[in-house]
């Protein structure tokens, strides 16, 4: 009886051994698969980085989406970086948030349109924070219509927009837009500036809540920035304006009825050897403070047609012209077509400005000028302010 019992144990031991081996093999396979799975989770991230450089829209990181613009969307700019920028807001546009908290869309192509282009990235009103994956020069063949709730953030790269013969960025009846750290150069035809060639580098029509900050602007057939049709809550800050005749226009006769409500802050800009209109203001309200004016051909600032300009702590250095601030329209006050004429003076309240020669800036009906109701710190006009603006105006690297 024992013999058969001992003989019957061998198959049982063999089965047990085989079972143990199978379990070990199965565990090993599971472990290997898990290792490979971690590798695949990492792979799309590498692919997305590469596609952002090449302009491909394929391969996005887990948890991110590809925006409807066709450009890749990811997490290159986080909330902390957005908040660092937003902490510098001020003036009438101090509540602008742009695309903060929305999708982040990468511009990966220098093409005028199509997948990965700036034009596609800024279309629509969905909150969008647009960034650039590399230095780019984008040549436009037509104006780019910027949608509401958008930030165009050029920080960290050299991003230039150009478009000879056409207009640049168009903000038409949109709200909550930030334009940050771009170079805008050669729009319209500067040879036709005396004829008011229409294209501007940036143009606002009926916009609300716009912050134009730390840009470099030069050479446009009409103005570098034009603001009209009742645009409100606008701040233009820390920009470098140069190589330009007509620089910054706020309001005009054609839209006088709605331009009366315009509110614009112009601060910490470097107006570098421009021609005139830095700014010219018709009908609305403008707070112009802590700017640096180095030479100008006709005049620096003009208020006309009942506009209210609060001119505070600006530095005016040298000029080809003896006129610094004007308070009356040019000539007979008529437009080019002579279909509208308004010769009424503007209002001016001048406080704490510094002029390097014997010229004086005098109030004109200053008691009728608004007082800024928002919080701000105006630095005293002087050498320190000049140094800060020369070092800080223009795109941030």
Q: Which of 397, 319, 334 is nearest to 153 (CA)?
A: 397
Query: Would you give the distance in Å from CA 64 to the centre of its chain?
Result: 24
Residue 77: Cβ within 10 Å count: 19
Residue 183's beta-bridge partner residues?
Answer: 160, 216
Q: Which of 50, 55, 205 is nearest to 121 (CA)?
A: 55
Residue 364's beta-bridge partner residues?
Answer: 348
Residue 30's beta-bridge partner residues?
Answer: none
Identify the active-site residue in 103, 120, 155, 277. Answer: 277
CB 355 within 8 Å of CB 319: no
Query: Would you give the distance in Å from CA 358 to the centre of its chain?
Result: 38
Query: Would you give the distance in Å from CA 321 to the centre of its chain?
Result: 32
Residue 145's φ and ψ, nearest 5 degrees, are -85, 115
Residue 387's φ and ψ, nearest 5 degrees, are -60, -45
Does residue 33 have an active-site annotation?
A: no
**Rounded CA separation 61/45 (Å):** 5
Q: Following DSSP, what letter does each residue of 20-39 receive, concatenated? A: HHHHHHHHHHHHHHHHHHHH
**Rounded CA separation 193/211 (Å):** 26
Three-class SS of residue 119? helix
**Token pair of 5 as six digits:** 């019992």
- Residues with a catalytic annotation lie at 277
């Amino acid at each position: 009886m024992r013999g058969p019992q001992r003989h019957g144990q061998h198959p049982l031991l063999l089965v047990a051994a085989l079972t143990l081996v199978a379990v070990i093999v199965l565990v090993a396979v599971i472990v290997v698969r898990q290792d490979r799975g971690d590798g695949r989770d990492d792979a799309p991230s590498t692919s997305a980085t590469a596609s952002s450089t090449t302009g491909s829209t394929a391969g996005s990181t887990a948890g991110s989406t590809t925006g409807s613009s066709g450009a890749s969307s990811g997490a290159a700019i986080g909330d902390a970086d957005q908040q660092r920028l937003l902490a510098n807001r001020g003036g009438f546009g101090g509540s602008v948030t742009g695309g903060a908290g929305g999708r982040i869309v990468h511009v990966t192509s220098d093409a005028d349109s199509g997948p990965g282009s700036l034009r596609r990235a800024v279309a629509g009103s969905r909150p969008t924070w647009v960034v650039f994956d590399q230095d780019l020069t984008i040549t436009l063949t037509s104006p780019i219509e910027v949608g509401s709730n958008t930030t165009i953030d050029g920080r960290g790269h050299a991003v230039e927009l150009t478009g000879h013969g056409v207009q640049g960025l168009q903000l038409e009846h949109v709200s909550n837009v930030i334009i940050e750290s771009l170079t805008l150069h050669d729009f319209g035809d500067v040879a036709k500036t005396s004829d008011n060639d229409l294209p501007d580098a940036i143009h606002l029509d009926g916009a609300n809540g716009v912050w134009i900050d730390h840009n470099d602007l030069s050479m446009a057939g009409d103005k570098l920035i034009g603001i009209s049709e009742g645009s409100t809550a606008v701040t233009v800050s820390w920009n470098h304006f140069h190589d330009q005749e007509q620089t910054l226009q706020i309001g005009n006769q054609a839209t006088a009825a709605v331009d009366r409500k315009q509110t614009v802050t112009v601060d910490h800009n470097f107006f570098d050897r421009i021609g005139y209109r830095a700014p010219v203001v018709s009908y609305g309200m403008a707070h112009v403070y802590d700017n640096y004016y180095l030479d100008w051909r006709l005049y620096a600032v003009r208020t006309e047609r009942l506009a209210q300009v609060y001119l505070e702590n600006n530095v005016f250095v040298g000029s080809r012209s003896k006129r610094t601030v004007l308070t009356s329209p040019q000539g007979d006050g008529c437009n080019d077509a002579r279909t509208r004429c308004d010769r009424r003076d503007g209002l001016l309240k001048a406080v704490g400005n510094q002029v390097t020669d014997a010229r004086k800036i005098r109030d004109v009906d200053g008691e009728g000028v608004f007082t800024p109701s928002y919080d701000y710190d105006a630095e005293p006009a002087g050498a320190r302010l000049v140094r800060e603006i020369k070092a800080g105006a223009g795109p941030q690297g």
